[in-house]
Structures are given as C-alpha cells and as structure tokens.
Amino acid sequence: MDINLEECYQVLEVDESAEVEDIEKAYFRIVGECLKRGEKERIETVKNAYQLLINHRKSQQEEESAQGQRSYEQEVTNNVARALRGMSLMIKVEAFVDHLEIKIRGSKPHQKKAILNLIYQSFKSSDILQHTLVKVVAQKTVKTHFWQEDINFTPNRNNQVYSNDYLLLQEAEKTLNTYVLPIAGAIALAFSFAEVLTWFIGMWVHEFGHATIAWFSGYRAMITFGATITTLEKSNFVYFGILFLLGLTFYTGWKEKKNSPMIVAVTLIMLQFILTWIVSYSDYVTLMAFGGIGGEFYLSTLLIIAFYWRLPEKFYWDFWRFGAVAIGAITFFSSFTKWHNIKVGRDNIPWGTLWGGRGDSGGDLNILNDYSGWSANQIIGTYVSLGNICFMVIISFYLFHLFKSRPELWVKIRQLFR
C-alpha cells in the first residue's frame, strides 16, 4: 500500500529528525517484534516505510552536502577574489574529494608568481580551507592553460606548515629580500658607535679601493695595514691574469646560466681595457688617489647590491654574501655620514696619511688637491655626489628585488587606490 512520509515516521516510531542510523535501528527492532508475534503483513508495511524514509534521508543528505559544497566553493571564491582584487581575473573554484581546483581566466604568464603568492597568503591567513591540496590553473582557453601549480597545505611534524618547495623557496627569498637591507642598516648604525671597529673595517675597503684601481690599470699592488704598495711599471701578468679570471667568471656564469656574473665580467673586462690602455698616467695617479675614499663608496655599494646576484656555485656566494653585505653597509654608512658632516662643517677633511699625519703631502686628498688641482669644495662635492649616487643605486636595487620577489605588492598597492 502507498503511505506518505508522516505515516512512515509513525510506522517506524521515529521523529522527523531521525538520522539513517536511527531509522535502521528502529526498522530492525520492529521487524524483530513482528517476527516474534507472527505479524507478517505488518513486516511488509514496515519494510515499505523503511525504504521510503531511507531514500528520503539520503536525498536530504545529498542535497545538504551539495549545498555545503556550493557554499564552500563560494566562500573560497570570495576569499581568492579578495586576494586577487585589482587584477581583473575570472575565478572558478571546484571542490573534489582529494583536492581543490582554482581556475583563473584573464591572467598573463608573468603574473604566475604574484597570483600564487597571493592565493597562498590568503589561505595561510584564514581557516576556510578544507583541503590539503590546492591546484591552481591559469587558463588560456577552456581546454588549454598557461601554467598549473599545486600548493600542498599538509602540516609538517610541528603542525606549522605548508606548501611545496617552489613556494617555500619563494618565501625564503622574499624574507631575505625584504629584511636584509634594513638589518644591514641597523648593524651599520650599531657599529657607528664603535668608531675604532668601524674605522678598522673601512680601512681595508679603502685600501682595496686603491688596489682595484691599480690592478685594473695593469699595475701590481699589495695591500698592507693602512697603505697600498704599487709598482711604477705596468705588468702584462696582472693584465692577462685578471683578464683570465674575468673570462673564467663569464664562462662559469654562462655554463650555470646565471646572468649576473656574465654581465659583471663583461663590464669589468671593458673597464680593465680602458684603464690599462687608454687612461693616461696622470689620470691614473688621480684615480689612484681618488680610489681610496671612492672605494669606500663604490666597493661597499658593490658588496651590498651583490647580495642579490647569483654568482657561480664555486664562489660559495650564498654563504659569503651575508658577511659582504654587513661589511658594505658598515663602510658605506660611515663614509656617507662622514662626508655629509664635512659638507655642513661638522667634520674636517681627512688630509694626510695614517702614518705621516695630516701634514703628509702623500695623502690621497693632498694629491687630489696639489697634483690634480682639485679644490677642497670640489673634493667634498665629488665625494658627497658619489655617496648620493651610490645610495640611490642601493635603494633602487633593494626596491627592484623587493618587488621582483614580492610581485603581489604591486597588486596590494593598486588595491589601496580602488
């Protein structure tokens, strides 16, 4: 016979809130009682009621599950849309049993890093994600895509997280590029209160400034404490030795597909040729005198910006660059503040030499003044300008690599003005 849902509940003696397990328990209990009493006709009625209620509850559960999935997909869509706001993208989210798929339309191939980072950060800072695997697909057409990347949100042993090696490496790179220069600046500021230590570090950079001019001009040079000893005649051994090392650097960079060492090598080879074969001896003397304090600026700047370069593996630069950026920052900060203080009259021009005192005519600035004809104001203006240029180079490198490693910052900046 036909019975409605209300009658089914009455037959099985359950209420409308009963779950499938409750219905099954009631069914087997009543069937058992009917068998004991010999009520076979009632068993058929109970069976029909049971089947109808089971189908009804399963249908309800499927609808609730589908509705929950739609709600979950919509919540994820809204979360991703907020993260990618301002990029004019179409977003579609589909939840599967083993993963969540995010399809994006309207993106450009170069936006991959920004999109992945923004999605990663949006999930990392919220608790809406119910999957441990997220597949992000940047669609070119309905059937093709620019790229596809998986983000694994499986917690580690400390329950701290997450993501794949690709994003973990990006996280490390972002952290370094964001904080290395501010930390180096803080170290330099702290060292400024230890004048003797700052002077000691800067003195070696100063002497290397002299030596690099000599070496790239083809002269032998030996660095000692507070002085650089050079020969009076050029040496083919120095020229071709440095040329060989620069060529080897270029080859290694080419072999490892790293642009930074190749660009640096080519630039230095051209500079070496000019200084060795084109620059006159009188100009060389001026450059040698200038290169001490000048090296405190340009060599320290190179040490700082070289932190961002990817040099050949045999240089072990991933290790040495941390010490280099600290030395560069300490030296640059000391020289930069000193010459700006000299400009406004709060400090004096460092005439003379370490060993001969202020009256030694062989001092770098004495040579610039007496031999090259530079006035005191010209000396001050030149070093202040060099310091300002180097400072702008450092800031430019920092901002370039900051936004390169964190392209989502551009998106967030645009979002502020929407």
Asked whether residue 161 carries a pLDDT value surpassing 50, the answer given is no
Mean of per-residue pLDDT scores for the chain: 84
Do both 16 and 141 map to the same domain? no
Q: What is the pLDDT of residue 190?
A: 92
Three-state secondary structure of 191-249: HCCCHHHHHHHHHHHHHHHHHHHHHHCCEEEEEECCEEEEEEEECHHHHHHHHHHHHHH
Q: What is the pLDDT of residue 334?
A: 94
Assigned domain for 168 exists? no
Do both 202 and 332 map to the same domain? yes
Question: Cβ(333)–Cβ(189) under 8 Å?
Answer: yes
Q: What is the pLDDT of residues 97-152, one digit of tens each?
A: 888 888 888 877 777 777 877 888 778 777 788 777 888 888 887 778 888 888 87
Q: Domain containing 121: what range?
A: 84-163
Assigned domain for 76 exists? no
Q: Which residues are bridge partners to 415 per DSSP?
A: none
Q: Which residues are bridge partners to 234 per DSSP?
A: 219
Do both 299 and 337 map to the same domain? yes
Do both 288 and 355 map to the same domain? yes
Do both 107 and 230 map to the same domain? no
Do both 195 and 241 map to the same domain? yes
Q: What is the pLDDT of residues 297-307, one digit of tens each?
A: 999 999 999 98
Do both 190 and 320 map to the same domain? yes
Q: In this structure, is the dihedral angle defined by the CA atoms of residues 295, 200, 246 and 242, taken in order, positive or negative?
A: positive
CA separation for the pair 139, 89 (Å, rounded): 11
Do both 138 and 186 map to the same domain? no
Do both 29 and 148 map to the same domain? no
Which of 16, 40, 66 finishes a domain? 66
Assigned domain for 172 exists? no
Q: Which of 163-167, 295-299, 371-375, 399-403 has the highest mean pLDDT?
A: 295-299
Assigned domain for 77 exists? no
Can you give the length of the chain in residues?
418
Do both 216 and 135 map to the same domain? no
Residue 411 confidence class, pLDDT cut points 50, 70, 90: low
